[in-house]
């Protein structure tokens, strides 16, 4: 149903790669976690967060529940083992059910959606001090990209604070669209326009991922760089169109009986739409 590619690079400056990622299409889960720099054992924290979320999703938890559980586990381990006290990680994760997705995040790792028209939307909002200044009107989004407080996190998995939260959003991945999850090692080096230019290319996802990492390295590579890129494959396109057919049928069935005359007319219209979509689906499937 999906095609995806993922990769992590240590960068040019750091001596350890504290990022991790999950690419698991079988359970519809993709995520990127970034161990918090300056704290001990950031690499272990990001791996623990990634593995905990994957395990909880396998057991049937919602994505938000899985992230919250990872948060509690990291905190507890830090309390029980002083040698890893203070470890923490960001996370951005996408969980799919069919073509519908839920995204949860804590920290400044991001999710972007690129449309068929090559328009890119940032789905996440950074949990850092620069974003606080943007929200208060003190600086612009453009200024935030280079602001020193961009590196100051307000929330992270494993750091307990009264306002700690998991943010989330929902959406649908449509044919021709791409979903990008990435650590700030990418967005800290490349502007959104540069990222979009590469994401819009008609190339295999593995090639685009390599080009994004190379671009970040060429721009300095001052941090670990990790990303995963997702799109529908042919099966996904077919499933997306079947999902739309099912929605039409459900809407038809839910029309009130008092409108039976209208219902009959709408049924024929729906059948016409279904037939047209089947033709399109067949054309896409054969192409």
The average pLDDT across 180-199 equals 97
The average pLDDT across 245-265 equals 45
Give the SS3 label for residue 152: coil
In this prediction, what percent of the chain has a pLDDT beyond 70? 80
Instruction: Please give the DSSP secondary-structure letter assigned to residue 188.
Output: T
DSSP secondary structure, 69-111, as one string:
HHHHHHHHHHHH-GGGTT--EEEEEEEEETTEEEEEEESS-EE
* C-alpha to C-alpha distances, 145 to 130, 189, 199, 249, 268, nearest whole angstrom: 8, 9, 20, 47, 53
- Count of C-beta atoms within a 10 Å radius of residue 250: 9
Give the SS3 label for residue 16: coil
How far is residue 15's CA from residue 25's CA, in Å, rounded to a whole number? 31
Q: Give residue-wise pLDDT tens across range 134-184.
A: 778 888 777 677 777 777 899 999 998 888 999 999 999 999 999 999 999
What pLDDT was estimated at residue 127? 94
- When mean pLDDT is compared across 110-124, 153-167, 181-195, 240-254, the lowest value belongs to 240-254
- What's the pTM? 0.81
What pLDDT was estimated at residue 246? 58
């Amino acid at each position: 149903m999906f095609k995806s590619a993922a990769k992590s690079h240590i960068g040019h400056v750091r001596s350890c790669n504290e990022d991790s990622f999950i690419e698991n299409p079988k359970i519809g889960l993709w995520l990127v976690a970034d161990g918090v720099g300056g704290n001990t054992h950031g690499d272990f924290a990001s791996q623990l967060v990634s593995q905990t979320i994957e395990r909880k999703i396998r057991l049937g938890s919602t994505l938000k529940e899985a992230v919250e559980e990872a948060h509690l586990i990291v905190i507890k381990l830090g309390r029980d083992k002083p040698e890893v006290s203070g470890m923490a990680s960001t996370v951005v994760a996408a969980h799919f059910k069919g073509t519908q997705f839920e995204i949860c995040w804590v920290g400044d790792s991001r999710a972007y959606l690129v449309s068929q028209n090559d328009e890119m939307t940032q789905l996440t909002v950074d949990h850092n001090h620069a974003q606080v200044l943007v929200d208060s009107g003190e600086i612009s989004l453009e200024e935030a990209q280079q602001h020193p407080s961009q590196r100051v996190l307000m929330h992270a998995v494993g750091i307990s604070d009264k306002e700690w939260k998991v943010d989330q959003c929902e959406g649908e991945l449509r044919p021709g669209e791409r979903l990008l999850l990435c650590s700030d090692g990418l967005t800290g080096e490349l502007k959104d326009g540069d990222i979009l230019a590469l994401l819009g290319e008609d190339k295999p996802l593995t090639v685009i991922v390599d080009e994004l990492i190379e671009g970040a390295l060429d721009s300095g590579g001052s941090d670990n760089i990790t990303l995963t890129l997702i799109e529908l494959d042919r099966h996904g396109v077919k499933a997306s169109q079947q999902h739309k057919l099912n929605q039409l049928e459900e809407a038809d069935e839910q029309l009130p009986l008092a409108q039976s005359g209208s219902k009959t007319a709408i049924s024929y219209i729906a059948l016409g739409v279904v037939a047209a979509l089947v033709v399109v689906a067949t054309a896409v499937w054969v192409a």
